[in-house]
Amino acid sequence: MDVEALMRAALIEAGYGPDVVGSALPRIMRILQAEDVRLEAGRHLSRKEREYVRVQLEIGLTVPEIVAGLKR
């Protein structure tokens, strides 16, 4: 089971309806992906870097693409 399906099942099990799950799940997934970027980078990110990561995730880049951008 992938992370998104697991999170969806957990939210439904917790009693959240489809509207809440549909609006909250994308934000939850971006938070988890941002943490993946931090772990891949191997360090804490500055405020500017965190903003960069947030924007990159919103436009649809993947974690490896964002990490490569941070390393430049």
Summarize pLDDT for 22-54 with one digit per residue, the tens. Answer: 999 999 999 999 999 999 999 999 999 999 999
Name the residue range of residue 18's domain: 3-71
Number of domains in the chain: 1
Give yes or no for residue 72 having a pLDDT over 90: no
Structure tokens at 65: 């693409």
Q: Is the overall model pTM greater than 0.85, yes or no?
A: no
Distance CA 15, CA 50 (A): 32
As a dihedral over the C-alpha atoms of residue 23, residue 26, residue 27, residue 28, rounded to 10 degrees, the angle is 110
Distance CA 50, CA 8 (A): 25
Q: For residue 43, give the DSSP letter.
A: S
